[in-house]
Amino acid sequence: KTYIQKVIGAGDVENAVVGKVTLVGEARKYLMEKNGQEPSLRELAQYTRMSESELKDMLALIRKAEERAKAR
């Protein structure tokens, strides 16, 4: 991670993470509306073309943000 940050810059890494979190959030919302239920990890992986392991991390970030928003 440190090496990548040096090569491409920390800002780019942060922007990539924000972009992926946004993509996953929008995909989750779309699939919920389309199917009427929370999408499975496999459905999200197929839709976003991301690995299930990476999706778990992105979903954890989304859930933390949702919890913080509710606490306010």
Stretches in the chain below the pLDDT threshold 70:
1-13
In 3D space, the residue among 71, 54, 43 whose CA is nearest the CA of residue 19 turns out to be 54
Helix axes 41-48, 52-71, angle to 10 degrees: 110
pLDDT confidence of residue 6? 59
Angle, vertex CA 64, rays to CA 59 and CA 65, nearest 5: 100
pLDDT confidence of residue 66? 87
pLDDT confidence of residue 9? 61
Overall size of the chain counted in residues: 72
- pTM for the full model? 0.72
pLDDT confidence of residue 62? 85
